[in-house]
Structure 1
Amino acid sequence: MVEPMLVAEGVRKSYGSVEVLSGISLVVMPGQVTCLVGPSGSGKSTFLRCVNHLESIDGGRLAVNGQLVGYREEKGRLHELKEREACRNRASVGMVFQNFNLFQHMSALENIIEAPQRVLKLSKEEAINSARELLAMVGLSTRGDSFPSQLSGGQQQRVAIARALAMKPKLILFDEATSALDPELVGEVLSAMRALAASGMSMVVVTHEMGFAREAADEMVFMDAGMVVERGSPDQVLDNPQQARTKAFLTKVR
């Protein structure tokens, strides 16, 4: 049997007295693209941050490629890893954020090679060769020496995608990767994401781009109030939603 790439079982997360995730369970198979949709505040971004252990969880468990994320298990109990161990653990999960998070004092190429040299211990030559291939893949082969201030928002986000891929992740997470972009720049980032999906990369994508979700997703998951309300193929969820909350949301975003 093929082992799932991501398994979330009853994941809970609270900030003070506010429960943001109320028992999220989700399975993503290798090569699968899962799109998370729903209103602001429904817990989508928090869930991604928990998958990457940028946030600890208060209940349940998360595993990527068969390995617990951010925790080890002893005698049936979970114990959070120390930060250094968690960073190594996190290396198998890439993440692309809303706001690029590029180092402004580094060129596009330097942004991409930094982590592979430090974490994967690649030589500078290996890291540069890989970075150039990735820049070509996202359509930026001539912009390796450009600094973020010299790039458009769409170009910066494509550099961020290349940077995430440079770590050779098993799974890549996209947190509203186009929401900070001007409308005319959205298409170029979605194109890079479509190409990545077509290559067989396992992806979990928080998005408000329903057209992208319909085209690229294997499964669409509608979340609201920290819970999974409905899931299914994009055509099922978009064209024939079963839950009233899903229907109400879709009437507002179409």
Structure 2
Amino acid sequence: MSVDAPRSPMVQAENVCKSFGALQVLKGISLQVQHGSVACLIGPSGSGKSTFLRCVNHLEKVNAGRLRVDGELIGYRERGGKLYEMSPRDAAKQRRDIGMVFQHFNLFPHRTVIANVIEAPMLVKGQSRDEAVARAEDLLSKVGLASKADAYPAQLSGGQQQRVAIARALAMEPKLMLFDEPTSALDPELVGDVLAVMRDLAQAGMTMLVVTHEMGFAREVADQLVFMADGKVVERGNPREMLERPQHERTQAFLSKLL
């Protein structure tokens, strides 16, 4: 009888460092996100949360350490203990499996909602138009925007545009979703609709790494809460426990201003 090898984490960061010139933004980040779980990154502006997220899909190159997604080294190949950067083409292939939703929606303004959603599956994955459209219609229905398929981004609210951006990322059938403060640019009354879509994704088993200031979402949906400051992981743990009884004084000071 064979015994299955333990599955590697979906995201595994080992001592990840990143500098922009003389400014060291990430100072040895190590964390894991298991398959089907949700990790929320919180912390003050400038703590390195968004930079770390961008390193996970190699939009930013790490200066030291290793980042793996589903057991695969991201952005580099390792030979003889040395790292060699991948070609842009090979890095782009890895990125297909990692969906990312930004603070600002980055939709193509001159294309309709459905055209925004079908473009990458057709261009990158070679899906037929019929296949891409069918998938896009299903996703737009799931994010509550089936009636907006033929609208243009300028005709939508910010919250609707962000839900289109989520549908567009999901159209590539990623195994991991990254969210970089997806609600921070929205009017307060529009935040709930976007969080509801993310909540549904989590319940469906999507692995998610979320930079957010929405503590209610973190408490309810996340399996892991990670507090970052000054480019380091200061504290991590169960979201409810951390929000109610943070152990580190930096975490306590940060949360006291939010809760």
User: Aligned ranges for residues 57-206 of structure 1 at < 5 Å?
Assistant: 57-206=62-211
The runs of 5 or more residues in structure 1 that have no matched partner are none
How much has 1:72 moved relative to structure 2? Answer: 1.1
Matched to 1:128, the amino acid is: V
Structure 2: gaps of 5 or more residues = 1-5
Deviations 1:157-189 (A, max 9, x none): 000000000111110000000000011101110
Report % sequence identity. 61
Pick one of 212, 218, 221 that aligns with 1:216. 221
Distance 1:129 1:148 in 2: 20
Counterpart-to-counterpart distance in 1, 2:135 and 2:190:
25
Letter of the 1:163 partner, please give it.
R
Task: Give the conservation status (yes or no) of the 8 Å contact 1:70–1:90.
Answer: no
The one-letter amino acid paired with 1:4 is P
Paired letter, 2:15: G
- Following superposition, the deviation at residue 66 of structure 1 comes to 1.1
Give the TM-score normalised by structure 2: 0.97
One-letter amino acid of the structure 2 residue matched with residue 106 of structure 1: R
1:41-95 CA-to-partner distances (Å, cap 9, x unmatched) read 0000000000011000000011111111111111111111111111111111100
C-alpha distance in 2, partners of 1:2/1:185?
38
Deviations 1:177-204 (A, max 9, x none): 0000011101110111101111100000
**Would you say the 8 A contact 1:219–1:231 is kept in 2?**
yes
CA contact (8 A) 1:132 1:144 kept: yes
Distance in 2 between residues matched to 1:113 and 1:70, nearest whole Å: 26
- 2:3 corresponding residue in structure 1: none
Q: 2:158 and 2:240 mapped to 1: Cα distance?
A: 31
Q: What TM-score does the superposition give when structure 1 sets the normalisation length?
A: 0.99
Which residue identity lines up with residue 93 of structure 2 in the other structure? R
Aligned match of 1:39: 44
- Structure 1 equivalent of residue 59 of structure 2: 54
Cα separation, 2, equivalents of 1:156 and 1:130: 18
Give the superposition deviation at 1:108.
0.7
Q: CA deviation at 1:215?
A: 0.4
2:102 counterpart letter in structure 1: F
Which whole-Å CA distance do the structure 1 matches of 2:104 and 2:29 have between them? Answer: 26
Q: Which residue matches 1:21?
A: 26
Partner SS, residue 142 of structure 1: helix
Q: 2:236 — aligned with what?
A: 231
What amino acid is aligned across from residue 193 of structure 2 in structure 1? E
Instruction: Please give the root-mean-square deviation of Cα atoms over the aligned residues, in Å.
Output: 0.6
Q: Which amino acid aligns with 2:86?
A: L
